[in-house]
A and B are shown apart, each in its own frame.
Chain A
Amino acid sequence: MTAPANDPATDTTAPAPMVEVRGVHKVFGRGHDAVHVLKGIDLDVARGSVTVVLGPSGSGKSTLLRCVNELEEITAGAIHVDGDLMGYRRDAKGVLHRLHPKVIAEQRSRIGMVFQRFHLFPHKTALENVMEAPVQVRGLSKADARRRALELLERVGLSDRVEHYPAQLSGGQQQRVAIARALAMDPELMLFDEPTSALDPELVGEVLAVMQDLARSGMTMIVVTHEIGFAREVADHVVFMDDGVIVEEGRPGDVLDNPAEPRLRDFLAHVL
């Protein structure tokens, strides 16, 4: 279902993808200092699928991810998540309007994000970290949020760490709390921005296991990572980016074992 031959615009039998990225450009800065980071990205992410984005540093992977949930404003193009245009509204006459920050916040709340450096709230316990958004954004009662947070912390294997502050947890534990925190908002899409890159090697496995479990449960995921093994095992679709464009994409078996592009071959030789 992720074969690139199916153009979702013409193929009416395929369900609408969860994420539709069309002609997205991102330019940082202006004038002489301008840096063209994304140079026309097109990408579909099917519902319930896992897309792994590979690429060397500075290829624009993280920027693409941050554009999907509006942490960065795109310079050109359009991103739809679950059919909603992100960050903008087109009126009846076709004029584009920037959405009010309140509405953008609401759009973001339906997309979970996990960061390379966890970004847990250090002044709150693991439990309070997970409860924060449901209570403050969704208006859930503290008791309900607490019950749900305990469930999620159990799911990521941290039932015995709920009262710990982030500084008292290992990197792998912190990242698992961060995943639980994102899941607490019942997202329809999860974004992972190099979730294991800041971890000691022996802690990578526990985080990947939680992600694999999440993928099996049918969550739609976009994962930026250097873990080729994870891509091979879990991904439905692998995208290789370099210098702001998608160089090659397809099934993990095809892309990882028979890379067509010399740049991808070169990259895989370095990472593996």
Chain B
Amino acid sequence: MTDQLPEPLHARPVPRPGRWVSAVVVLVLVAMAVNALVTNPNFRWDTVWLYLRDVVVVRGVAWTLVLTFGSMAIAIVLAVLLAVMRRSDNPVMRAVSWFWIWFFRGTPIYTQLVFWGLLSVLYPRLSLGVPFGPEFWTFTTQDVITAFWAALLGLALNESAYLAEIVRAGLSSVDPGQAEAAKALGMKDGKILRRIVLPQAMRVIVPPTGNETISMLKTTSLVLAVPFTLELTYATNAIGNRTFQPIPLLIVAALWYLLITSLLMVGQHYLERYYGRGFDGGRTGRGGRGPRGGRRRPRKQDLIGASGTTKDDPFLEVTP
């Protein structure tokens, strides 16, 4: 560098005794909490360690994961459908979507799960056919809607209503000029949604959806309402009640939930980075896809931008 950099100023920092005092107070409180956890024999950490690897518990973890990811997958598909219906020109579509969201957000998930469990009482037989007309295909409800499917559908339908609102917010966050530019290129509506609008909406959709997934992980413990009894909370509770050691088994469940949540957070981080590509100025999302040969923007410009003193929106109305 040919530029002669000036010697930076040397000044004494402002004394901040409050920082030291507050740090010490908090550290003492933390030490007290750790002490309470480790030294109290009633926690029975040996039992925790034993049951953490118990086959029933691990199977419970597996079922919890199946319920979480299964219901989220169904819910995401339904949510995109509902959000698109909500924005449709067709008033029937808009009304149905509105009603669905109103109903499934407006009733407790517990009530909905009990209802799905009781479906076979309400409709012992289900059939496919013309409404009020002939039936083409009939089956016994209990054979098809087992406790597992009732739990999965119950969770998915409830979640779809919440996710639909998230997707709708994401779709509205995309500049209408994007769809217009795609239209001007001759792209059709379906393609514009899939290739242009949704990928950009994902930047807004992913963070709250990650939140919902983590929330769903714990909501699966409510499926005992169906009743579905193989997932983690029910499995650990049952062991706890049987062995008269409820607290260690609650800890077992909590540790597993924490572990899975941590993994989900890592996944969310990478998803956010992928869908943020092209939006964060300098950095590119996918490794190796950036331009070869280093910097894309003069470093100076980056620093000026980072100082936050410039206008963020280069598109402010210009009157020539």
Contact = CB atoms under 8 A, between A and B. Distances in A.
Contacts of B284: 165
B199 A167 contact: no
B177 interface: yes
A101 B186 contact: no
Given A136-B195, A198-B315, A226-B320, A163 B188 contact: no
Nearest to B293: A160
B281 A105 contact: no
Interface string A65-105: 00001010000000000000000000000000000011001
B181 interface: yes
A158 B197 CA distance: 26
Contacts of B186: 105-106, 108-110, 133, 137, 185
A137 B185 contact: yes
B277 A71 contact: no
B3 interface: no
A267 interface: no
Contacts, number: 101
A167 B289 CA distance: 15
A163 B279 contact: no
Given A115-B177, A121-B178, A122-B278, A171 B314 contact: yes
Contacts of B184: 69, 71, 108, 111-113, 115, 182
Interface string A170-210: 01000000100110010000000000011000000000000
B320 A197 contact: yes
A193 to B, nearest CB: 10
Contacts of A171: 314
B54 interface: no
A36 interface: no
B200 interface: yes
Given A69-B184, A108-B184, A226-B320, A132 B281 contact: no
Ordered nearest first, which 9 A-B pairs have the shortest CB separation?
A109-B186, A119-B181, A165-B278, A133-B185, A113-B184, A119-B177, A163-B291, A168-B296, A226-B320
8 contacts: A71-B183, A108-B183, A121-B182, A136-B191, A137-B187, A167-B280, A168-B291, A181-B185
Interface of B: 175, 177-178, 180-189, 191, 195-196, 199-200, 275, 277-282, 284, 289-292, 296-297, 314-315, 318-320
Given A105-B183, A117-B177, 8 more contacts: A101-B188, A105-B188, A121-B200, A136-B187, A167-B280, A181-B185, A197-B320, A198-B314
